Chains A and B, each alone.
Chain A
Amino acid sequence: MSDLDEVSTGDPRPAEVGRLIFDRSTACARCTEMPALDVPDVDLDAALAHRSRRTAPLLPEVTEVDLARHYEHLASVNFGVDSGFYPLGSCTMKYNPKVDEVACRMPGFAGVHPYQPPATVQGVLELMHGLQEALGEVSGLPHVSLQPAAGAHGEFTGLMTIRAYHEANGDPRKRVIIPDSAHGTNPATVAMCGYEVTTIPSDERGGVDPGALEAALDTDVAALMLTNPNTLGLFDENISRITGLVHSFGALAYCDGANLNAVLGKARPGDMGFDVMHINLHKTFGTPHGGGGPGAGPVAVTDALAPFLPGPVVALQPDGFRLVMPERSIGRVRSFYGNAGVLVRAYAYIRAVGGDGLTEVAEQAVLSANYLKERLKGAFDLPYDRPCMHEFVLSGRRQKRESGVRTLDIAKRLLDFGVHPPTVYFPLIVDEAIMIEPTETEGLETLDAFADAMLAIAAEAARDPEVLHSAPHVTPVRRLDEARAVKEPVLRYSPPCLD
């Protein structure tokens, strides 16, 4: 198909929408070419035991300029933190410093092989060691494994470490307790680790109900998994009592580190009585989310759990930095040593900001959240009206009741204002939840513009709900038929002749 077929259809929308790289293909077009082969050309079929490929994979045949334009177009219909405000609650979408991108591409980090002799990789090992130390200090849990590739992977790792600890004590256990405000990964992780889930209700202040916890605890409980501050953005004042209760039954306390940004330098999970936590470097320490990854989810633990950590971890020995396996390690949770490219960015961020700067991060993140909460709580319901930490949860139930406008409509309408919507319908314990996390990296003008947009939308909901029902209006595409995507799955490109 030539480009000419796609113009002058009378449709003002760009012809590029939905046009695949495969659709740009021209037979025999080439981008990357190989140097001439400087060794004898093997007889592939003979060399490969007569298993050589007969039919070439159907890949696009394009030139470099085709690629440059294709991906420039795709970038233009994508929204990142550099595009605008991204108050996605629990995801901590802070600004990603450019220097981190320079750092991770330095040849001594990007261009080294994991099996090089240790003496030839002392730089990256020193960096990883420095990151382990910093994360241990920030969390108050001194022993760190950098292996996990993401937060959910860290959860799995942390819980498996707990499992190994109990089993080593000859005390295998069966259940893990989770509050009903927990993120969905927590119960999924529990199941993956071979434990059963026990869910306990939150109290009227949004925290763990100590009575419900006590009732659920027995010596079959391996751990309590908790996020503190929790998914409502509230700090649980009973935390010491909660972790103490858990310990009194021989169980351990696992901290989901999703909300660490709120307490950097202010309070440490280790001091709250937690035994294990994972830390989402792509949240707290400013590494980019990459459209879904790569992330990194290092795990930090107490002395008692350190021998069970997955490895290898970096240790400073007389002859330099070395990769070592903790003595009773659960083993590897992936190949090699973790997402080093992400670890470099996080290390660069921590060194740039420094210990004093990390504390300022928490202070501003919390102040900005409280500021937005004050600006919005008149127009929207606020189910838990307490000073919040780095995020807060509104409810769209008033709009739903009075105008038939749902939280989803509010989120979609925000797109028209050039804002990425907050997290919606989470946590599950809040009806029509709208979870807002501004982070510390947004200016007052941005915060005010967002608040103004939310207030304008609340007014619109009352006056002209249809504008919200049919939103968004000015995005590259509008609301999608998601049911069709499930019922008639099209999950890959098929060439036209096969359709």
Chain B
Amino acid sequence: MRFIPITPAQRDDMLRAVGVSSVDDLFGVIPEDVRLSRPLDVPDGVSELELLRHLRQLSDRDLDSSRVVSFLGAGCYDHFVPSIVDAVVSKPEFFTAYTPYQPEISQGTLQAIFEYQSMICQLTGMDVSNASMYDGATAMAEAAHLAASVTKRRRVVVADTVHPEWIETLRTYALSGTLEVALAASRGGRVDVEALAEAAAEAAAVIVADPNFFGNLEDLTAVGRIAKNAGALFVVAMNPMLAGVLAPPSEYGADVVVGEGQPLGNAMSFGGPGFGFFACRSDYLRRMPGRIVGRTVDVDGRAAFVLTMQTREQHIRREKATSNICSNQALCALAASVHLASLGPAGLADVGRACVSKAHYMYDRLVATGRFSPAFPDTAFADEFALAYDGNAREMQEAMLERGFLAGLELSRFSSELSGIVLFAVTEKRTREEIDRFVEEVSSL
């Protein structure tokens, strides 16, 4: 396929207008020694028909969620996405647009972001939200940077119950020397508040996830108090899909709330793109990273939206910017807004209730088989839970895959201490019949 509309005759006309005899003349500025003297070793182009055939062959090789009953979560979730979402994000006026630098012809993107920011504030209970970031992990790392800049301290304390890949991301960001990362140990699948109280002294931030990586609810009241006493910013990562049933982190004194937005309106897509949301108290507005959209008026007095507070950003402040980020995940955030609007407050609560109810139903049934035991007894969880399997968990997963199930995530990949523990996620898409069938099959192994 070629996406070049210029015809050979037009090309000749253009060469004449430029005053050269061939295109090669235009590349004459490239010195011989760095010019590529052979064709690229990339397969030749193909027609659309051939391309689609090739891509379908690749796609068919994968076991997608329509062909398997999945209990995989751990940061990426298989929620139902209503048809209206793809209908909206498929509009080329949205997906072929650039960052809305020209507000006069970008009111669609700008207003959609303003609405997104409004909804994120509602879910998190925070005063202000940015226009979104790369993902939950990087949003958390940016929150750590914000805390360091606000408190003029370098050390951030993060609960070891946060998603291991998020902690790893934070550590990578800290390799720059601008941050120091300390882990707070956990007990019973939740951060150990006594250990945390000690670690939090002189910290820039106390960071927890709620629910945490294991699906457990943290004691946000205690953690919030510890952060406050230490003069640290209280950073909470939350699952937005549970915002209809769980009280917002603002009720526990959170200063910054971040999270992975994929559950809202975005396909799993092998882990990306989703988006990170980032919201905070208005005190930190001027230190917030990323794009922000505000409402103002045009010269005729009409309400209109525009990128604002831009002096925080790299194109103006350069090396003194709050972050180097110069984009957002606008289309993914748009998908989230459409999904949230399509649910409304009642629908969001219904989804949360369904996930929590189904997770608890499955938990009870699996524990009742005697083959699974709670990894963290007596700890409250929401829509995801960890169980220890009384056999070889990997073999159990392989056997269940043959029976058409993705039997959760075995956690030894993150730590040998977690060997044999399986993390199950249950979304509203799972039916009682699927759960029952899974329980029967797994207990017959």
Nearest B residue to A138 via CB reads B40
Question: Within the complex, which residue of A266, A289, A370 is in contact with B30, where a contact is CB–CB below 8 Å?
Answer: A266
> Judging by beta carbons under 8 Å apart, are B23 and A185 in contact?
no
Whole-angstrom CA separation of A17 from B295 in the bound complex: 12
> Judging by beta carbons under 8 Å apart, are A265 and B96 in contact?
no
Question: Within the complex, which residue of A38, A49, A114, A480 is in contact with B306, where a contact is CB–CB below 8 Å?
Answer: A480
Q: How far is the CB of A292 from chain B (nearest CB, A)?
A: 4
> Judging by beta carbons under 8 Å apart, are A293 and B332 in contact?
yes
Question: Within the complex, which residue of B136, B248, B328, B347 is in contact with A335, where a contact is CB–CB below 8 Å?
Answer: B136
> Does B152 count as interface, using CB distance less than 8 angstroms?
no
Q: How far is the CB of A274 from chain B (nearest CB, A)?
A: 10
Chain A binder among B123-131, B200-208, B224-232, B366-374: B123-131
Chain B binder among A1-9, A245-253, A435-443, A452-460: A435-443
> Judging by beta carbons under 8 Å apart, are B129 and A31 in contact?
no
> Judging by beta carbons under 8 Å apart, are A123 and B217 in contact?
no
Pairs of residues from A and B, 7 with the lowest C-beta to C-beta distance, nearest first: A336-B271, A354-B45, A78-B108, A108-B59, A18-B303, A114-B271, A80-B96
> Judging by beta carbons under 8 Å apart, are A93 and B91 in contact?
no
> Judging by beta carbons under 8 Å apart, are A289 and B6 in contact?
no
Whole-angstrom CA separation of A60 from B296 in the bound complex: 22
> Does B44 count as interface, using CB distance less than 8 angstroms?
yes
> 17 A-B pairs, CB-CB below 8 angstroms?
A18-B304, A40-B357, A53-B246, A106-B56, A113-B65, A121-B62, A163-B175, A239-B34, A291-B330, A292-B328, A335-B165, A335-B260, A340-B269, A352-B45, A367-B18, A480-B298, A491-B128
CB neighbors of A among B192-211 (8 A): none
Q: How far is the CB of B99 from chain A (nearest CB, A)?
A: 4
> Judging by beta carbons under 8 Å apart, are B34 and A59 in contact?
no
> Judging by beta carbons under 8 Å apart, are A62 and B297 in contact?
no
> Judging by beta carbons under 8 Å apart, are A334 and B90 in contact?
no
CB neighbors of B among A39-92 (8 A): 39-42, 44, 47-49, 51-54, 56-62, 64, 67-68, 71-83, 86, 88, 91
> Does B351 count as interface, using CB distance less than 8 angstroms?
yes
> Judging by beta carbons under 8 Å apart, are A56 and B349 in contact?
yes
A residues near B391, Cβ cutoff 8 Å: none
> Judging by beta carbons under 8 Å apart, are B118 and A492 in contact?
yes
B residues near A268, Cβ cutoff 8 Å: 34, 36
> Does B117 count as interface, using CB distance less than 8 angstroms?
yes
> Does B445 count as interface, using CB distance less than 8 angstroms?
no
With A39-B358, A107-B66 known as contacts, the answer to whether A185 contacts B326 (CB < 8 A) is: yes
Q: How far is the CB of A448 from chain B (nearest CB, A)?
A: 10
> Judging by beta carbons under 8 Å apart, are B64 and A111 in contact?
yes
> Does A316 count as interface, using CB distance less than 8 angstroms?
no
Nearest A residue to B55 via CB reads A103
> Judging by beta carbons under 8 Å apart, are A480 and B23 in contact?
no
> Judging by beta carbons under 8 Å apart, are B314 and A68 in contact?
no
> Judging by beta carbons under 8 Å apart, are B62 and A364 in contact?
no
With A106-B56, A160-B172, A342-B273 known as contacts, the answer to whether A489 contacts B46 (CB < 8 A) is: no
With A53-B246, A109-B270, A492-B117 known as contacts, the answer to whether A122 contacts B61 (CB < 8 A) is: yes
Whole-angstrom CA separation of A209 from B136 in the bound complex: 42
> Judging by beta carbons under 8 Å apart, are B248 and A53 in contact?
yes
Assign chain B's interface to a size class. Answer: 35 or more
Nearest A residue to B413 via CB reads A115
Whole-angstrom CA separation of A358 from B39 in the bound complex: 10
With A109-B269, A371-B14 known as contacts, the answer to whether A187 contacts B76 (CB < 8 A) is: no
Whole-angstrom CA separation of A8 from B336 in the bound complex: 34
CB neighbors of A among B159-185 (8 A): 163, 165-166, 168-169, 171-173, 175-178
> Judging by beta carbons under 8 Å apart, are A44 and B300 in contact?
no
Question: Within the complex, which residue of A37, A149, A234, A440 is in contact with B3, where a contact is CB–CB below 8 Å?
Answer: A440
> Judging by beta carbons under 8 Å apart, are A336 and B138 in contact?
no
> Does B13 count as interface, using CB distance less than 8 angstroms?
yes
> Judging by beta carbons under 8 Å apart, are B342 and A67 in contact?
yes
Residue among A38, A54, A237 having the largest count of chain B Cβ atoms under 10 Å:
A38
B residues near A156, Cβ cutoff 8 Å: 324
B residues near A295, Cβ cutoff 8 Å: 327
Chain B binder among A210-218, A298-306, A396-404, A469-477: A469-477
A residues near B25, Cβ cutoff 8 Å: 387
With A21-B341, A480-B103 known as contacts, the answer to whether A187 contacts B54 (CB < 8 A) is: no
> Judging by beta carbons under 8 Å apart, are B169 and A291 in contact?
no
Nearest A residue to B48 via CB reads A99
> Judging by beta carbons under 8 Å apart, are B6 and A354 in contact?
no
A residues near B123, Cβ cutoff 8 Å: 57
Question: Within the complex, which residue of A99, A108, A286 is in contact with B52, where a contact is CB–CB below 8 Å?
Answer: A99
> Does B243 count as interface, using CB distance less than 8 angstroms?
yes
Whole-angstrom CA separation of A335 from B243 in the bound complex: 22
> Judging by beta carbons under 8 Å apart, are B118 and A476 in contact?
no
